Amino acid sequence: MVITPEMIGSIVGIYNGKTFNQVEIKPEMIGHYLGEFSITYKPVKHGRPGIGATHSSRFIPLK
């Protein structure tokens, strides 16, 4: 659904596939789709590689 000027100031719930996210409609959002403002995935947070993550980890002694 495209955001129209009549929707400015209202708060809508946008479904992201799991939950509804509350989004307040602002003037700069006019013409965009509602789904653009509700992220549908969890951004990846890369940690440190574990034992066995690389080919060379065979030569690292276990604690």
pLDDT at res. 55: 76
pLDDT digits 0-9 by tens, 23-60: 999 999 999 999 999 999 999 988 777 777 777 766 77
pLDDT at res. 62: 67
Residue type, 31: G
Give the helix/strand (H/E) hosting 22. strand 20-24
pLDDT at res. 17: 94
Nearest to 51, CA basis, from 41, 43, 42, 62? 62
Please tell me the CATH superfamily of domain 5-53, with its number: Ribosomal protein S19/S15 (3.30.860.10)
pLDDT at res. 30: 96
Domain boundaries, the chain: 5-53
pLDDT digits 0-9 by tens, 16-25: 999 999 999 9
Q: What is the mean pLDDT of residues 1-12?
A: 96
